[in-house]
Structure 1
Amino acid sequence: MNSTSHAIVNYAILSGVAPKQTWPILIGSVLPDFPMLVLVIWARINGIPGRELWGEVYWQPFWQDFTHYFHSIPIAAAIALIAHYFGIAWLKYLAIAMVMHSLGDIPLHNNDAHRHFLPFTDYKFISPVSYWDKRHNAVWGALGENLAVLGSTIYLFPSIGTWIVKGLLTLLNGLAWTAYIFFFLA
């Protein structure tokens, strides 16, 4: 899933349970993708073109480990349990959102699947569906993702008090559907 999709869907699910934990939920929802942001910035600074970045550099052991440990369900779950035990609500919901991010990724990654159960195993679930790769049914994966985001947005709209956030959600949905039409249907 795209990072923004994780944030919107996770917030829709968790906001009713933890309404005062907006920022930890949103940050935890995108934090597993942080290593990829670092990678992209590093590649730009070093003049590495996109094709080389995603075709070679991303697959190097360092970047794979960095990315996969941030997607580790056992590590994030352990953080959530420890935070719960010590009564650190913000950290608990940040870690829960990280777990939810990884759970959302499992059915939508094919050849780029993460090792979600590190450090216990290097196992990767290779889904037949991708959220981006046309060779692996992305037309359906991206459609499901966009529908989940749209449904989450509709659910959240009545509880959002500011038109700026409503406008941002509308814009993100519009961009996602435009990209879907352009990349998968055109």
Structure 2
Amino acid sequence: MNTPAHLLIGAAAFARPANGRILWAALLGSLLPDLSLYVLAGVSLFVLGIPEQVVFGQLYYSSAWQTVFAIDNSFILWGLALTIGIWRGWRVLIVGAAAGLIHLAMDFLLHAGDGRAQFWPISSWVFHSPVSYWDSTHHAFWVAPVSALACLTSYVVLWQQGMRVWAKLFFAALVVAEIWVARQWLMFF
């Protein structure tokens, strides 16, 4: 699933109220499993000048990058964070960890051939879903409308919580970004 969808769904599911520290925790938890990809790919592409084909055809699948992805996509580590949050009564950590876990659950189901080892450090096993959010050879044409509907529904849920204008505009931009990115994936893949 695309990062804008994760942000929308994570915030709608866990940011109650949708403002302040709770909203930021939901957004951060929704973003963190993808952040390393943005950092690694961004530095490789724009700082080091490595060609896109090498970044996404070789480096993405390298053991070094996959190790980083395994750490920040670990159900074990995110579950531990949620457990600590519940044990200590830290609502911000609970919300952030829950948003991270829902991100991982969606990715687990929607990564065909590009999944990550989500049970690190216990296992390096990777689930290869038969369904992909971006690859049309793995049913992305069916996933994209469901994802768009989930994003629109999440936006309505967030809107109804009385967010500030900046937040409404931010989440509206995420809906537009999700639809545009999904369109691009389907056109090119």
**TM-score above 0.5:** yes
Q: Which position in structure 1 is the counterpart of 2:15?
A: 15
Distance 1:27 1:176 in 2: 18
Shift of 1:31: 0.3
Aligned runs of 1:20-169 on 2, under 5 Å?
A: 21-43=22-44, 44-169=46-171
- How high is the sequence identity, in percent, across the aligned residues? 28
Over aligned residues, Cα RMSD in angstroms? Answer: 2.1
Shift of 1:123: 2.1
Shift of 1:148: 0.8
Q: 2:130 is paired with a residue of what secondary structure?
A: coil
Looking at both structures, which has the greater relative contact order when contacts are Cα pairs under 8 Å and sequence separation is at least 6? 2
Deviations 1:138-184 (A, max 9, x none): 11122221111111111221213323322232233233334444553
- Residue segments in structure 2 that go unaligned for 5+ positions in a row: none
Deviations 1:71-120 (A, max 9, x none): 10111111111232223322222222111110111111000011111122
Q: 1:21 is paired with a residue of what secondary structure?
A: helix
- 1:112 maps to a residue whose letter is D
Distance 1:184 1:126 in 2: 20
Q: CA separation of 1:18/1:80 partners in 2, compared to 1, >3 Å: closer, same or farther?
A: farther
**Count of residue correspondences:** 186
Distance 2:184 2:76 in 1: 37
Q: 2:81 is paired with a residue of what secondary structure?
A: helix
Distance 2:85 2:179 in 1: 37
- In the alignment, is the contact (CA less than 8 A) between 1:130 and 1:142 conserved in 2? no
Distance 1:170 1:68 in 2: 31
- 1:155 maps to a residue whose letter is V
The more displaced of 176-185 and 67-76 is 176-185
Distance 1:184 1:60 in 2: 26
Q: Which position in structure 1 is the counterpart of 2:6?
A: 6
Aligned runs of 1:165-180 on 2, under 5 Å?
A: 165-180=167-182
What TM-score, normalized by structure 2, do the two folds share?
Answer: 0.88
